[in-house]
Amino acid sequence: MQNVVLGAYAYDLTHSATFVGIIIFAQLGPTLVLPMVGGLLADKVDRKRFLIILSIEQLVFSVGVALVVLSPDPSKVLLVVMVFMVGAGSAMFGPTYSAILPGLVGREDLPGAISLNSAQMNASRVIGPVIGGVLYSLVGPAWIFAGNAATYLFVVGALMMVTLPSVRQAPTHASRWRQLTAGITVARQDPVVGRCLVTVFVFSLLALAFIGQMPVVAAHNLGINLSKSPDYGILYACFGTGALAGAISIGTVFAGTSKPLIVRICLVGYSLSLCAFALERSPVPAYVNVAVVGAFYFAFITALNTTLQGRLHENVRGRVMALWMMGFGGTVGIGNLLIGPVVAAVGITDVLLFGACVALALAWYADVRPRPDAQVVLGVGLAQ
């Protein structure tokens, strides 16, 4: 709900694609740096306590977002700062949360667990935008942001109810810098890990502009009134529905299918469906197109994540997943910051078509099949 309303509110406040890009960057920009810190701490400290602290931090600054928006003359600078602080907590939360998953379910159930994890996240993307789109026009954005703050109480409650497996530590003589950058070393040593990370970085930077710029697509291409029509919420919900189906399919319908093969097929499908969405000028067909885009997008991401996680040792998982989070989230913020002025200059359609071309090129590059003659480098020694 907050994600869909935040972009719409930023656009209604300024009617500027550039400011929408700034807000998205404030939300996702911290993911460029802070996941490495969060990943290191995830491998060194009590993960449960760390996640609770980060949840409370996000709660506090989410309340700050609501208070800024309640002002009759909201400060754009203060809004960006509050959103940035929420993003900072999320950036460190992400790799820690990802690192606990394999320890809870075991390696043999990892593909299904990652699929289910993606599914529950995308289920919220189906329900949230519909509710947010309706409430935005009925009660305004401030109450939606306040409701988001309250949801962190449920996160804290859930964490307090579960027991997380501890990470065994071993003596180390490595420098702190070497420990911090252990994930990069593993990526350099293991070709599959490295190619997975390069793929998600490039894809998120250059092919995902439509997510942050969805309010611009809705207003300019589809003629949707963001603050007075539920159509924007429906558009986002259709994307979430497709993403939910794509995520679930990896652990169910395609559970026995090669994940590296799925990665390449989905990139081609994403490219073609994004072209269709970019050229659409009517809301109803756009709902179908964006659902197909979402399905290919999250099937690709889930298959790529499954391939990556299957290569990692537990003691370095947090730091490698920090790199994943940097690529998956942080570069989206950079991309939107850079693309905002480009959208103003050439239009959103050309930007989306460019993203489709990038996805097609990645379908050629993203060969993440394990080599039979290649040794898996887990980075155990430098991970400790």
Query: Which residue matches tokens 């885009």?
Result: 293
Distance, in Å, from the CA atom of 288 to the CA atom of 285, rounded to the nearest integer, reads 5
What pTM was estimated for this model as a whole? 0.73
Q: How far is CA 209 from the centre of its chain?
A: 13
| CB 55, CB 152: distance < 8 Å | yes
Q: Kind and range of the H or E element at 97?
A: helix 76-105
Question: Between vectors from CA 274 to CA 119 and to CA 135, what angle results, nearest 5°?
Answer: 55
| DSSP structure class, residue 71 | S
Burial of 355 (0-12, 13-18, 19+ CB in 10 A): buried
Domains and CATH numbers, the chain: 2-164+177-383 (1.20.1250.20)
Q: What are phi and psi of 137, to 5 degrees?
A: -85, -15
Residue 50 vs residues 67, 98, 176, 209: alpha-carbon distances, Å: 26, 13, 19, 32
Please give the chain's pLDDT, 384 residues, in tens: 887 788 888 888 888 878 887 887 888 778 777 887 877 787 777 888 899 999 999 999 999 999 999 988 889 999 999 999 998 998 888 878 877 777 778 777 877 787 777 777 767 766 776 777 778 878 888 899 999 999 999 999 998 988 877 666 555 555 555 666 777 888 888 889 999 999 999 998 899 877 778 888 888 899 888 767 778 778 878 888 898 888 888 878 888 899 999 999 999 999 999 999 999 999 999 999 999 999 999 899 989 988 888 787 767 777 788 788 788 766 776 777 788 788 888 888 999 999 999 999 999 999 998 865 444 444 444 444
